[in-house]
Amino acid sequence: MTPLFQDEFAGGPPAKRSLQYVLGKREKGSPVVGTYCTYAPIELVRAMGGVPAMLCAFAQGPIEAAETVLPRNLCALIKSSYGFIKTDTCPFFTVSEAVIAETTCDGKKKMFELIADKRPLHVMDLPQLPDEPGAVANWSAMVVRLKSFLEKTFSRSITDQAVEQAIADTNKRNALVRRFLAYNARRPAVLSWSEIYDVTWLAASASGADLETMMEGVCARLDERIKSGAVIGDAKSPRVLITGCPVGGDATKAFKTIEAAGGVIVAIDNCTGSKLYAEDIDAKSGDPMAALARRYLKIPCSCMTPNTGRLTELDRMIAEFKPDIVVDVVLQACHGYNIESVKVEEHVKKNHGLPFLKIETDYSSADVEQIRTRVEAALEGTRKK
């Protein structure tokens, strides 16, 4: 099967490719700003000529070091992220000259206090009742404050014109990624879960001509793949839609287990999947800062209440990708997604008649066999005869 990536990025896992891209930009004079969440309006970073770097970590390795400070019963993502910083082994944090943080969960908020002396750090107070009067105005104020922080920290001016251009670039990026993801509306699928993950991860850092070149090349090779008849699985393979927490690195054991059991992951509805690219930013509002605030406040994270946007987006994805089962991958101690899983299961079964499987896990390998048993049982009932 033709590899999707050839000349656009060097080989290796997406984190390595993303790091190479960020380092290349830094060598050309672009300041690097680390982010922990899709709520960080990276258009402001790009409007000052900077490049964003994802700081969330997905590895078991540094968790032991993190647990000398953080409680053991804390989300693995937070412990891994902090552990990399504590051991000074996170290359993305090393090259970041400032950090954008946000109040999406209590664990992250307190972790930010522990790293506040290591880099210039700006915490954005995220309104978590997005439909309430004043929520957009409050978040707009946070976006404006971030702009001031970046201008002061890097001694650069961020003009409305530059923000509008960054918004246009984001909308073009979103269209390219959605075009790519739409290939898996086909049956059989033509994209593997790892290819979806790679592209959505890389697109979070790359922009402009770099991203356009990458995506045009990827889509051209997908067209060649379709012409040659190459597919993932076959017409009888269970189609799986993933939802839930951000997943990467060691947590992709759940994805690998689904693949090994004969399932085909056709779509990934989380922050390391399609969530960032689902909607565009209003490019003609006349107030680009407010336009950024409105768009980012629509991101359907479980920190929001009520989080009806997540169910609406699931409806759209189920209609487009026609999965045979929905799998909710949730990190232990991520209370928002853990509790919300009940509503997601009810919605998926009642409104779509689909089977549902919740996988609660962390970054260790201790539960791999348990996950395999549950996945195999869940997929067995969805196989086409």
pLDDT value for 381: 81
The interaxial angle of helices 193-203 and 160-181, nearest 10 deg, is 170
Of the three residues 141, 158, 175, the one that is the final residue of a domain is 158
Question: In this model, does residue 10 exceed pLDDT 70?
Answer: no
Residue 343, in any domain of the structure = yes
Reported as a pLDDT band with limits 50, 70 and 90, residue 13 is: confident
pTM confidence score: 0.96
Q: Is 189 helix (H, G, I), strand (E, B) or coil?
A: strand
Residue 5, in any domain of the structure = no
Reported as a pLDDT band with limits 50, 70 and 90, residue 384 is: low
CATH number at 344 reads 3.40.50.11900
Q: Both 153 and 184 in a single domain? A: no
Q: Is 228 helix (H, G, I), strand (E, B) or coil?
A: helix
Strand ranges, E, within 180-279: 239-244, 264-269
pLDDT value for 382: 86
Residue 3, in any domain of the structure = no
Structure tokens at 371: 């996950």
Q: Both 242 and 353 in a single domain? A: yes
Residue 295, in any domain of the structure = yes
Of the three residues 107, 138, 158, the one that is the final residue of a domain is 158
Q: Both 260 and 319 in a single domain? A: yes
Asked if residue 130 has a cis previous peptide bond (ω within 30° of 0), the answer is no
Contact predicate 121/36, CB 8 Å: no
Residue 1, in any domain of the structure = no
- Nearest-CA neighbor of 34 among 103, 114, 122, 105? 122
Q: Both 123 and 204 in a single domain? A: no
Q: Both 374 and 304 in a single domain? A: yes
Question: In this model, does residue 290 exceed pLDDT 70?
Answer: yes
Residue 6, in any domain of the structure = no
pLDDT value for 6: 62
Contact predicate 298/280, CB 8 Å: no
Q: Both 171 and 72 in a single domain? A: no
Instruction: Supply the range of the domain harboring residue 171.
Output: 162-380
Q: Both 110 and 175 in a single domain? A: no
Structure tokens at 118: 């290591």
Residue 64, in any domain of the structure = yes
pLDDT value for 8: 53
Q: Both 215 and 281 in a single domain? A: yes
pLDDT in tens, 298-317: 999 999 999 999 999 999 99
Q: Both 131 and 201 in a single domain? A: no
pLDDT value for 303: 96
pLDDT in tens, 56-112: 999 999 999 999 999 999 999 999 999 999 999 999 999 999 999 999 999 999 999
Count structural domains, the chain: 2
User: For 134-156, what is the mean pLDDT?
Assistant: 97
Of the three residues 111, 127, 158, the one that is the final residue of a domain is 158
Q: Is 87 helix (H, G, I), strand (E, B) or coil?
A: coil
Mean pLDDT of the chain: 94
Q: Both 152 and 181 in a single domain? A: no
pLDDT value for 102: 95
Residue 36, in any domain of the structure = yes
More confident residue, 121 or 3: 121
pLDDT value for 280: 97
Distance, CA of 217 to chain centre: 22
User: For 4-28, what is the mean pLDDT?
Assistant: 79
Q: How far is CA 331 from CA 4, 54, 347, 363, 365, in A?
A: 30, 19, 21, 8, 13
pLDDT in tens, 319-369: 999 999 999 999 999 999 999 999 999 999 999 999 999 999 999 999 999
Q: Both 169 and 148 in a single domain? A: no
Q: Both 135 and 207 in a single domain? A: no
pLDDT value for 232: 96
CATH number at 34 reads 3.40.50.11890
pLDDT in tens, 102-143: 999 999 999 999 999 999 999 999 999 999 999 999 999 999
pLDDT value for 209: 85
pLDDT value for 277: 96
pLDDT in tens, 213-266: 889 999 999 999 999 999 999 999 999 999 999 999 999 999 999 999 999 999
Helix (H) / strand (E) containing 99:
strand 98-102
Lowest-pLDDT choice from 5-19, 193-207, 274-288:
5-19
